[in-house]
Copies of this chain bind each other. A is one copy, B any other.
Amino acid sequence: MSVNHFKDKLALKGLKVTPQRIAILEAVHDLNHPTAEKVIGYIREKYPNIATGTVYKVLEVLVENDLIKKVKTDKDIMRYDGIMKSHHHLYSSDSKRIEDYFDDELNLLLKNYFEKKDINGFTIEDVKVQLIGKFKEKDLF
């Protein structure tokens, strides 16, 4: 992903294109479901004086503009995801590891299922599946 690609994404949303925003967008895409702290650490290597407050503010703006997503975790720390295509998540039950899980067959299955299912007084907008389990390979951190 080139820097220009990120510039375009920002511009398309009518957001001001700043080096901080580009760097943050890039960081979220480069890292695997980073916390805000990870993003800050990553960016500070090349851009030492970015403020933590700025990072939090920008992350919020990016989420509001559908450029990144917030990921729920069992713990209380928020994590971010640069992939906007609909997907689910694999959670390691014994570590902090999270991986993306793409499965169009599952999406179709769920779509069909909930189309014919009427839940009391609830209108479904989105369905997310969390698979909790164990990764066979050792966790990498």
Contact = CB atoms under 8 A, between A and B. Distances in A.
Each complex incorporates copies of this chain amounting to 2
Interface residues on A, range: 35 or more
A125 B135 CA distance: 11
Interface string A103-136: 1001001100110010101111111111111111
A87 interface: no
B131 A119 contact: yes
Given A109-B113, A113-B109, A128 B136 contact: no
A122 B109 contact: no
Contact of A129 (B101, B122, B128): B128
Contacts of A134: 122-123, 125
Interface of A: 70, 72-74, 76-78, 90, 93, 99, 101, 103, 106, 109-110, 113-114, 117, 119, 121-137
